[in-house]
Amino acid sequence: MIVHFMSGKPGLYFVGKRAPGDAQLQEFLEAAARATGEPLLAQARVTTWKAALQLLVERLPAGKKFILTLDEFQWIVEACPELPSVLQELWDRSWSRSGKVLLILCGSYLGFMEREVLGKKSPLFGRRTAQILLRPFNHLDAALFHPRLSVVDQARVYALCGGIPAYLLDFDGARSVEQNIMAQMLDDNAPLAREPDFLLREELRDLIPYHAVLMALAQGKSSPAQLEKSTGIDVRGLNYHLTTLVDLGYVQRRYPITESKPSVRSVRYALDDPLLRFWFRFVFPHQSVLRLLGPERGFAEIVRPELDAYLGRCFERLCRECLPMIYAGEGVRAAFTVGEYWDAEVQIDVVGVRADNWTDLGECKWGAVNSLPALATELAAKVPRFPNARNATIQRRLFVKAAKSKPRPLPDGVKLHTLEELYGLKSPAME
């Protein structure tokens, strides 16, 4: 996106990497020489980023704005920790007044960018003109990649690839979802089969403990106690690895929606990246067996028996994503928060807490539903266990993959949402 924005404009796009500071600085000078048409820049004898940046800007012609993009900013700063302070000094003393430079800082390490660029303790705090958190596509936009698939298959693809365009493009819309799983995720040479390992090696150093944590999360372990028991990693190490994965955006830290002050006791962790979730559930723990069996037998023996249960948990996430769109379609104007609720006795898949004194409680069912009224009764039994301290009006909702053509009437106060309806919602405008 940044490269597209820079197309046809004067600028320099530099990508940081895990490399020694001197090597990165020399590579930057060579890139600056190409970008400005000043070959002598590549031969400049400078040993600091401050000197290199000053030299670059001095060579820029007057009257034209130059776009300077530093991508994977976290790796540049890892080799040169003073760089944020250097940029602050250059911006405050010169660049902000001259109008010569449009500076774009980009990084894939979300926690780092929030702390070291946007955070109050950052030297660059308060100097940004704008910020963009580039999110994956939602289920409706992801479905546009495979318009000929049924909504059930579109939901299955979304559960496997999420909203990442590159992953969605790897799935062939002319083949079945099962064929795509075999060809793209179980074939050892396929791009999606290699992508998780590549991602983690790019971002992390010692992979063994991270592999253990991610595999435990993919198997459904969620509490710190469960993760400690499953991985054998002590609490201190576990907290460090989980925090790193949260900062990278791979793992989500969750609390029951009703807790105004979340407690450590109630925290749960969830593997938030769909591709990593599938890979650590079905591929990583079975790599040796999959290589012996091959993709077809591997799918039949390892993936197929567990796939529907796996998709059921993914469906719960999809339903939570859809609730704001449902609100928009129903004309709800009040502020709201969407999440889930759990305690020692009850789990409620979808909860929407609204400022208009309504609360929505939802039950999700991906598998076959023999009786919608029975499912409604299950949800009704959970309502008294929900801590409704503000005495809000409760709206019950059932989310199902499909309903019978002539379902029996549901009890009053229960709304039904099928997968077909969820894929007919209106996609919200990009903020």
- Mean pLDDT by runs of 10 across the 431 residues of the chain is 93 93 95 93 92 94 90 94 96 91 91 88 91 92 96 98 95 95 95 92 90 97 95 95 94 92 87 97 96 97 96 97 97 97 95 97 93 93 95 96 74 91 84 43
Please give the pLDDT value at position 404.
72
Helix, strand, coil % (nearest 5) of the chain? 50, 15, 35
Q: What is the pLDDT of residues 44-70, one digit of tens each?
A: 999 999 999 999 999 898 878 999 999
- Residue 115 is predicted with a pLDDT of 86
207-218 vs 235-247: helix crossing angle, rounded to 10? 80
pLDDT at 427: 86
Summarize pLDDT for 273-300 with one digit per residue, the tens.
Answer: 999 999 999 999 999 999 999 999 999 9
Q: Please give the domain boundaries of the chain with CATH numbers for all domains.
A: 2-118 (3.40.50.300), 139-313 (1.10.10.10), 319-422 (3.40.1350)
**pLDDT score at 309:** 95
pLDDT given at position 431: 43
If you compute the radius of gyration of the chain from its CA atoms, what whole number of angstroms results? 25
Q: Quote the pLDDT of residue 429.
A: 60
- pLDDT at position 23, please? 94
Distance CA 359, CA 390 (A): 10
Rounded to whole angstroms, how far apart are CA atoms 269 and 229? Answer: 14
pLDDT for 407 equals 62
User: How confident is the model at residue 263, as a pLDDT?
Assistant: 81
pLDDT confidence of residue 287:
94
Q: How many CB atoms lie within 10 A of CB 250?
A: 24
Tell me if residue 254 falls in helix, strand or coil. Answer: strand
State the SS3 of 269-306: EEECCHHHHHHHHHHHHHHHHHHHHHHHHHHHHHHHHH
Token representation of residue 177: 């979802």
